[in-house]
C-alpha cells in the first residue's frame, strides 16, 4: 500500500520538485499540496495523509504553528524542510518540539546537482517515518505546547527550573518492559547516542538530571554542522547541568554534557580530554556513535555507562559491542517510547543491552546509577 504524502510549501518550484521526486517512487502517492499552514491543516484533516512534508516560512501561517495545530487536531508524522543556518537550526528545533518527527535541509542546489541522491534520501525518510509512526502517531493526540518554546522568549535562564516530562508535542509513552533497577557505580563517563527523534529525547532525559550530576556526559546526535551549536545552546538553557558543543581539547567534568559537533567525529581519551576530528567521508555518520563509544571503551574500560536512544539505522551497535567487551554497561530506549526503533533495536537484538527503559525513566535511572 502506497504511503500517502501531503506536500506543504509556499514555493511553487519546491512543491513541484518534491512532488515529482516522491511520485517517481511507486510506493509513494502525493495526495495533495498546500501553500501555507492554514491550508496544510485543512488538507491534513481532509486527506488524512501518512506523512506531511512542511516548510517553515510561509504566508498566512508558519510551519511551526501548523505542526502544533495538526498534532492537536489530526496527529500526523511531519518531515520539516529547513535551511542550513543558525536561525534555520533554531526554527527546526522549535518544529521538533512542536511534534515534527524529523527534518531535511532545504537545498535547491542539491536538488539540481544531485537529484538521484536527494530522491534516495527523501524517499527513504518518508518510508521510514511512515512505517514507524503508524504506531507512534496513535499517541500524539494529547499534544500540548512545549514549555521549552515559551522559555525561549523568557529573559531569565531556565537552568534551575523544573522542565515538564512532556517537553514535546507528544503524550506520555507507554511503560517500558520491566528491567532491573540500575547498578550503582562510580562511572567515569556517560555516553548517549541518538538520531531521529533524538533532539526531543535528549531534552527529556537531560532536563531530569541535577546540577550536581556526578559524571561527565558526551552526547552524539546525528545532526548537520550548522545545527549542533544551536542545539547545545538550547539544551543549556533548559537543563540544570551545563551543555555545550564540544571543541577539541575540552576537558570532561561532572555536570557538563559535551555535544559532538555536526560533520565531525568526537573521541575521548583516558586523560579526560575530548578530541574533535575531521569527519571521514567513508563513514555514513558524522558524528558517529560507534566512533565515540569505541574511544570510550578504550579509555575507560568498564567505567562507562552508555545509552542508545531513538534513531534510524544501527549506529551504536558496534560501539556498544566494544563497551560490553570492556565490561561497561549499555542501556537502550524501549520500542514504545521511540520515534524510530532502529538504533536501540540493533543493540538489543545483538544481546548487548543490559537494561531497556522508557524515555521518561532514563534520566531518573541515570541519577540513581551514577555515584
Catalytic (active-site) positions: 195, 222, 315
Pairwise CA distance, residues 205 & 128, whole Å: 24
Closest CA to 75 of 136, 27, 3: 136
Interaxial angle between packed helices 289-300 and 317-325, expressed in degrees from 0 to 180 and rounded to the nearest 10: 10
Pairwise CA distance, residues 16 & 11, whole Å: 9
Cα dihedral 9→11→16→17 (10° resolution): -90
Cell of 243: 551543555
Closest CA to 316 of 243, 219, 232, 229: 219
Pairwise CA distance, residues 40 & 53, whole Å: 10
Interaxial angle between packed helices 86-98 and 225-238, expressed in degrees from 0 to 180 and rounded to the nearest 10: 60
In terms of DSSP H, where are the helices of 63-114? 63-73, 86-98, 108-113
Amino acid at each position: 500500500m502506497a504511503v500517502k504524502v501531503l506536500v506543504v510549501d509556499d514555493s511553487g518550484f519546491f512543491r513541484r520538485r518534491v512532488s515529482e521526486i516522491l511520485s517517481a517512487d511507486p510506493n509513494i502517492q502525493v495526495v495533495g499540496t498546500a501553500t501555507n499552514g492554514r491550508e496544510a491543516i485543512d488538507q491534513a484533516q481532509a486527506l488524512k495523509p501518512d506523512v506531511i512534508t512542511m516548510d517553515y516560512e510561509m504566508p498566512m501561517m508558519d510551519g511551526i504553528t501548523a505542526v502544533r495545530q495538526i498534532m492537536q487536531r489530526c496527529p500526523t508524522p511531519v518531515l520539516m524542510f529547513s535551511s542550513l543556518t543558525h536561525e534555520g537550526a533554531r526554527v527546526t528545533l522549535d518544529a521538533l518540539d512542536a511534534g515534527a518527527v524529523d527534518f531535511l535541509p532545504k537545498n535547491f542546489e542539491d536538488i539540481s546537482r544531485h537529484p538521484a541522491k536527494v530522491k534516495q534520501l527523501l524517499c527513504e525518510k518518508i518510508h521510514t517515518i511512515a512505517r514507524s509512526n503508524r504506531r507512534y502517531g496513535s499517541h500524539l493526540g494529547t499534544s500540548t505546547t512545549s514549555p521549552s518554546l515559551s522559555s525561549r522568549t523568557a529573559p531569565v535562564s531556565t537552568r534551575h527550573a523544573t522542565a515538564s516530562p512532556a517537553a514535546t508535542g507528544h503524550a506520555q509513552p507507554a511503560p517500558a518492559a520491566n528491567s532491573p533497577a540500575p547498578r550503582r557505580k562510580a562511572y567515569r563517563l556517560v555516553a548517549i547516542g541518538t538520531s531521529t527523534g533524538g533532539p526531543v529525547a535528549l531534552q527529556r532525559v537531560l532536563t531530569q538530571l541535577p546540577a550536581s550530576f556526578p559524571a561527565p556526559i558526551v552526547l552524539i546526535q546525528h545532526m548537520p554542522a550548522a545545527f549542533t551549536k544551536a542545539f547545545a545552546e538550547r539544551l543549556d538553557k533548559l537543563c540544570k547541568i551545563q551543555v555545550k558543543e564540544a571543541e577539541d581539547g575540552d576537558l570532561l567534568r561532572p555536570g557538563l554534557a559535551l555535544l559532538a559537533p555536526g560533520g565531525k567525529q568526537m573521541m575521548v581519551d583516558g586523560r579526560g580530554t575530548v578530541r574533535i576530528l575531521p569527519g571521514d567521508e567513508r563513514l555514513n555518520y558524522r558524528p558517529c556513535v560507534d566512533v565515540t563509544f569505541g574511544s570510550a571503551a578504550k579509555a575507560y574500560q568498564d567505567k562507562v555507562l552508555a545509552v542508545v536512544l531513538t534513531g534510524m539505522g544501527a549506529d551504536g551497535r558496534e560501539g556498544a559491542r566494544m563497551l560490553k567487551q570492556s565490561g561497561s554497561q549499555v542501556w537502550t530506549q524501549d520500542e514504545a517510547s521511540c520515534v524510530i526503533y532502529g538504533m536501540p533495536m540493533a543493540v538489543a537484538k545483538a544481546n548487548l543491552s543490559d537494561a531497556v527503559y522508557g524515555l521518561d525513566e532514563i534520566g531518573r535511572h541515570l541519577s540513581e546509577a551514577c555515584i
